[in-house]
Amino acid sequence: MNVTRVMKIIRPAKICRSSLVVTPALLLGGCLVGPNYHRPEAPVPAQFKESPGWTLAVPAADAPKGDWWKAFNDPLLDQLEPLVSVSNQTVRQDYANYQEALAEVEVARSALFPTLGITGSATKQHGPGGSTVVSGSGGVTTTTGSGATVTAGSLEGNVSWAPDLWGKVRRGIEESKATAQASAATLANATLSEQTTLATTVIELRLTDANVELTQKTVNAYQEYLRVVSNQGAAGTIAPSVVLTAQTQLESAQASLISLGVARAQYAHAIGVLVGKNPEELEIPAGTSMPTLPQVPIGLPSTLLQRRPDIAVAERQMAAQNAAVGVAVAAYYPTLTLSASAGFSQSPLDGLLHSANHVWSLGADASEAILDFGARRGMVAAAKAAYESAVANYRGTVLTALQNVEDDLSGLRILAQQAAVLESLVRDATRGAAIAFNEYQAGTVDYTTVAVAQATQFSAEESALGVKQLRLLDTISLIGDLGGGWSAAELK
């Protein structure tokens, strides 16, 4: 394929004046074939659908920063969250992957520079029949005589360099750097993900403790009610079925209280693993206070492009694939390798470093594939297809991020409305249960009325507690979906 035609097809970023004449400027700078990277547009709306009227304006200075969990005012979160970035094994794995990617950048960059080396040899040989044969890098020498042993040697330094004429090495460095940045963003994303998982698990633990307290209060109340009806049953003033109803109500509450212990143990074990400890190592005392529900400023949708590390991963992968196109395109062009060596060779070895034994050589090696039956064309097409795939992945990641935030905002809006209704329900149910019990003691209603009122009260309290949990979990999800205070500017 004609070189000029190829370059028109691929639209290189920089066209050399001549692809056949090698000049000093060409050797040092070279061309940079393949497309330069420009981040494609992503479908980002002007604002979130759920944002108008969702929350009062909050100064940007109050936005979640690195220690976003402090907004929940939970001592356990404050104690454990910093451990995730240093002890969590998923984060440590991604950190090692990032270090590997940085090393790959150094490997790619080294191809820009010459390779220096030194070689030395020494040979001692005695030829048969009185002939001495000495071999070495300087050649073979045959002498005749009494068969004395001769030692020969050589010492040479060599240098070789393949100038980056077409930018293949530089595109490779671009690809490695973008890959390393994607790895850094992957590390940030893993850290944020594990931190939000820890916060979620702590919330679940706190809810379990609150449910234990609520269920214990229920058990205590049912025990008191059972005592009252048992006395009345013994006096023969009520039917035995009333006592049996109170007994089953109490036993059901006691069974629920016991089952909560299993869930709490599992949450405690999960928290231990998240902070890099054995499941049994971490002792978490029971607590009854739930974390504070913080107010989170959401900003504009466009900020997600800079604040979400998973979007940064997709964008850097896109940049790496763009550079890979340039690497594939460079295969169309000839390669040139320059080499030189200088040193000393002597037989016998004495006087090796004398100027008379100085040897040197210069060389150049050029190669170009004339016919490869579409191999290079296929590699360029594959690289371009991989880039288009990365573009689709990037845009899909942005769309998913927008969906995540919209889901969080709608959930928080609806749950806030539900919480207000449940708060009123709990007040009314508590008052209704107290009135029903007083009326039962006065003999105006039967115990079934009291049992129903009590069950309604505790169910309402449990529902209110569950909604509070969901609001906390949605807030954690929102902070994570907004990037948790991370910024793409942190990528070096």
Give yes or no for a contact between 268 and 284, defined as CB atoms under 8 angstroms apart.
yes
Question: Which tokens go with 304?
Answer: 């997600």
**Do the domain assignments include residue 218?**
no
**Do the domain assignments include residue 217?**
no
Q: Tell me, what DSSP letter sits at residue 60?
A: G
d(CA 34, CA 319): 12
Tell me the pLDDT tens digit for each residue of 471-490.
999 999 999 999 988 888 77
Identify the pLDDT of residue 349: 62
171 and 259 share one domain: yes
Reported as a pLDDT band with limits 50, 70 and 90, residue 348 is: low
128 and 92 share one domain: no
d(CA 288, CA 296): 24
Identify the pLDDT of residue 1: 38
The dihedrals phi and psi of 226, each to the nearest 5 degrees, come to -65, -40
234 and 362 share one domain: no
CATH number, residue 124: 2.20.200
Whole-structure pTM value: 0.80
d(CA 398, CA 310): 9
52: three-class secondary structure by DSSP: coil
Give yes or no for a contact between 295 and 58, defined as CB atoms under 8 angstroms apart.
yes
Tell me the pLDDT tens digit for each residue of 226-268.
888 888 888 887 888 888 988 998 999 999 999 999 999 999 9
d(CA 408, CA 414): 10
Q: Which of 322, 347, 367 is the last residue of a domain?
A: 367
Q: Residue 46 sits in which domain range?
A: 3-111+163-211+228-242+254-333+373-490
Question: Which tokens go with 110?
Answer: 């080294």
d(CA 306, CA 65): 14
259 and 356 share one domain: no
Please tell me the total count of domains within the chain.
2
**Do the domain assignments include residue 248?**
no
Reported as a pLDDT band with limits 50, 70 and 90, residue 209 is: very high
The mean pLDDT value of the chain amounts to 82
What kind and span of H or E run contains 89?
helix 89-110
Identify the pLDDT of residue 350: 67
34 and 130 share one domain: no
